[in-house]
Amino acid sequence: MTERKQRLTVTVDPELVEAASRAVANGQADSLSGWVNAALSEKVDRERKLGHLRAAIADYEAEFGEITAEEMVAQARADREDAVVVRGRGTGAARRAPRRAKAASG
């Protein structure tokens, strides 16, 4: 059983209220309160995951030493080289289908 929800008064940017209102109007949220509740829940979950990531990095660095800027640049380069593009615009040659040879007329 969930605890009873608490009423909260907050001040937010107008564009956020508009986005929430659009979400309700489009059926993406039941209410403005529901939309805000979901956003806060996602923020809590994200912060929890970031905390685990920070702990994992700290454990790694405690065992192997601090990760240097040079190591991060080298890893980013390696990641780019190993990346496979699965969508988006490729180069012209990559987007074109192979051409078929014309049959000889005769």
Whether the CA torsion 61, 62, 65, 69 is positive or negative: it is positive
Query: How does pLDDT run across 43-78, given as a tens digit for each residue?
Result: 999 999 999 999 999 999 999 999 999 999 999 999
- Helices 14-25, 32-64: inter-axial angle, 10-degree rounding: 110
Domain chopping of the chain, boundaries: 14-82
Question: What pTM value is reported for the model?
Answer: 0.64
Query: How does pLDDT run across 30-40, given as a tens digit for each residue?
Result: 999 999 999 99
Please report which residue ranges of 12-89 form alpha helices under DSSP H.
Answer: 14-25, 32-64, 69-82
What residue type is 47 in one-letter code?
Answer: E
